Amino acid sequence: MYQTHKIYIQEDMVLADLIIENPSLLLLMEFFAIDDVINDDTVESICKKNNINLSVFLTFANLYNGFNPNRKDINTNNIDVRTVIKFLKKTHLFYIHDKYPEVHKYIKQLYKKQDKEVIERIELFFNDYFNEVLEHLRYEEEVAFPYFCKLLGDESKISDANFSVNEYREHHTDIETKLSDLKNLLIKHIALKGDFPLKRKIIQSLFELENDLIIHSMIEEHILLPLVEELEKNKNFG
Amino acid sequence: MDRKRVNIAVIEPSRIVYEGLANIILKAKRNSFVYWLSDFCELEQLLNKTGIDVVIINPCIIQNRLPEFMRYKKHHLKISWISLVYSHHDNQLLNQFNETISILDSIEAIVNKLTNSVIKDDNKVVKEQLSEREIGVLLQLVNGLSNKEIAEKLCISIHTVISHRKNIIEKTGIKSLPGLTIFAISQNITSVNSIPQ
């Protein structure tokens, strides 16, 4: 969301330079658990050092830089499904333990000066919204990911629920509508007099959350699902 | 949505030419939005999504599809059609357009031509506030009434209720019922006590 120029990231580029251009990539580093000093190391050497599948890193990093993946690059020879799932699990922790408490804390602070009844409604709306997000994340953790792991031949818990591509996709639309309503209310309609810094922080956090959720659904719909479909096909024919 | 905004579609196969033109348009600081289409057939799709005020086309694209182009022009009378020329074209073809921009035109000339081509209705006052009727419908909505119940209560047709709802969503930018409830409370249209949780 802070992105300045669009840079198409390649393996021989210096990661630190890329972060200076687009600080949102810090999140990507966090999700890939890169917490060493990076000096002037290239993307390739950092991936090697941290045992990260280079194609996955490049594809995701370019998503953060605003480039959608090429359909032809998305296949199991090129992209490692386990790395994708591991990454997505990390993003879940970020939504639950970082973004949600952050926005919630700001909303709580609004009670000091603002009309209690309006803030109560906003809090309720945000909680409802986040419950929907949680439901989707739970579905992924309990139904989708175990199913994908089974396709990969990994040991996993046996799930009773059936995985459905359509159900997976439907979740995203509902989540996006509610978040857009909340942003519109705060930007256009609700004054919150005397609390502008708080209002700004909430709106910025919501944008950050939205931006990451959009990338999250892009990864699921345009990378993970095609890979899963390929795995399913191989299984049926193989 | 901002009704003063000018939406411009550029149908030009060359990405380089498009980027250059879009840069000039956006830096002219008129409230405008530029869409890039690589072919004529994508226009219909765009028109379904948003209103378009100006279409800039490379005439090469319609050279052999003149009847199709004329049909479009007839259907969309409010659109201004501008040709973007960088090679020689028949006058007969160029006469089909309201204006012609040459690739050698100065930035000022391009901006002027664009400004003169935009037919914006000045009588169309920007009015984003809800009308009394819309407020009436909103009140019943947040009270949990269905379209049919609202129609009966306000003595209007169900069709009118739906059209009011559409306008409310368009003007406020809020789609969900709980969102509209917060809107109504914050604007003092209704009080918290009068609506169900």
> CA A136 to CA A168: how far, in whole Å?
8
Both B76 and B105 in one domain: the answer is yes
Specify the range with the lowest mean pLDDT, choosing from B77-81, B132-136, B165-169.
B77-81
Both B148 and B187 in one domain: the answer is yes
Q: Which residues contact B127 (CB under 8 A, 6 or more apart)?
A: none
The pLDDT score that the predictor gives to residue B127 is: 55
Task: For residue B125, name the pLDDT band (cuts at 50, 70, 90).
Answer: very low
Domain termination site, one of B92, B117, B142: B117
Both B140 and B180 in one domain: the answer is yes
Nearest CB among A128, A181, A191 relative to B174 is that of: A181
Nearest CB among A120, A125, A189 relative to B172 is that of: A189
Tokens of B176: 């969900």
Both B74 and B141 in one domain: the answer is no
Both B98 and B25 in one domain: the answer is yes
Partners of A126 on chain B (C-beta within 8 Å) are none
Residue B171 is assigned to a structural domain of this protein? yes
So where are chain A's domains?
15-67, 81-237
Both B111 and B176 in one domain: the answer is no
Domain termination site, one of B87, B117, B147: B117
Model ipTM value: 0.77
Both B36 and B61 in one domain: the answer is yes
Both B187 and B105 in one domain: the answer is no
Residue B127 is assigned to a structural domain of this protein? no
Residue B1 is assigned to a structural domain of this protein? no
Nearest CB among A117, A125, A184 relative to B173 is that of: A184
Q: What's the pTM?
A: 0.73
> What's the one-letter identity of residue A214?
I
A117 touches chain B (CB under 8 A): yes
> CA A21 to CA A18: how far, in whole Å?
5
**Partner-chain contact A185 B179, CB within 8 Å:** yes
As a whole number of Å, the end-to-end CA separation of chain A is 43
Both B184 and B160 in one domain: the answer is yes
Both B137 and B86 in one domain: the answer is no
Both B38 and B107 in one domain: the answer is yes
Domain count, chain B: 2
Contact A189, B187 (CB under 8 A): yes
Residue B122 is assigned to a structural domain of this protein? no
| Alpha helices (H) along chain A | 15-21, 25-31, 43-49, 54-64, 81-94, 100-110, 116-139, 145-151, 165-184, 196-218, 225-237
Each residue's pLDDT tens digit, B132-155: 999 999 999 999 999 999 999 999
Both B35 and B106 in one domain: the answer is yes
Task: For residue B124, name the pLDDT band (cuts at 50, 70, 90).
Answer: very low
Residue B125 is assigned to a structural domain of this protein? no
CATH code where residue B11 lies: 3.40.50.2300
Task: For residue B90, name the pLDDT band (cuts at 50, 70, 90).
Answer: confident
CATH code where residue B188 lies: 1.10.10.10
Residue B57 is assigned to a structural domain of this protein? yes
Q: In this model, does residue A204 exceed pLDDT 50? A: yes
Domain coverage including residue B77: 6-117
Q: In this model, does residue A217 exceed pLDDT 80? A: yes
Domain termination site, one of B68, B94, B117: B117
The pLDDT score that the predictor gives to residue A111 is: 95
